[in-house]
């Protein structure tokens, strides 16, 4: 049986352990800065959306007319021009059609 001796020899590396850790820490910090910037922007955006929706709900709760069928302008439209709700004329004038434009933006 052939017994070989294995010797461990450390290869010379151009950075010492201390410098390697400093470079690694700088690299991690450089990656963390954009993530922190992005999350702060996202949090501010979410806060704005929340404040905006709270304001809209408050405005809706203070409005005198909260449903369309109790709106005097809508009642006047149907009496003078639109005919009856869900009728042909009111459908033609008031109904909106959805057009998918997602392919246009890409």
Q: What percent of the chain has pLDDT over 90?
A: 15
Mean pLDDT of 27-35: 83
- pTM for this prediction: 0.41
What is the pLDDT of the chain when averaged over all its residues? 82
Sign of CA dihedral 93, 96, 97, 99: positive
pLDDT greater than 90 at residue 3: no
pLDDT greater than 70 at residue 13: no
pLDDT greater than 80 at residue 57: yes
CA distances to 14, 22, 32, 92 from 17, in Å: 10, 9, 22, 77
* CA atoms of 32 and 41, how far apart (whole Å): 14
pLDDT digits (tens, 9 = 90+) for 41-50: 889 999 999 9
Q: Tell me the domain boundaries of the chain.
A: 18-63, 65-96
Q: Coil, helix or strand for 13?
A: coil
């Amino acid at each position: 049986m052939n017994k070989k001796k294995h010797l461990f020899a450390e290869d010379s590396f151009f950075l010492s352990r201390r410098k390697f850790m400093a470079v690694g820490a700088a690299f991690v910090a450089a990656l963390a800065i954009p993530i922190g910037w992005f999350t702060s922007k996202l949090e501010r955006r979410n806060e704005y959306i929340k404040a905006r929706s709270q304001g809209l709900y408050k405005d809706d709760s203070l409005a005198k007319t909260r449903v369309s069928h109790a709106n005097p302008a809508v009642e006047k439209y149907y009496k003078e021009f639109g005919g009856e709700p869900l009728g042909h004329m009111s459908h033609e004038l008031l109904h909106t059609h959805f057009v998918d434009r997602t392919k246009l933006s890409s």
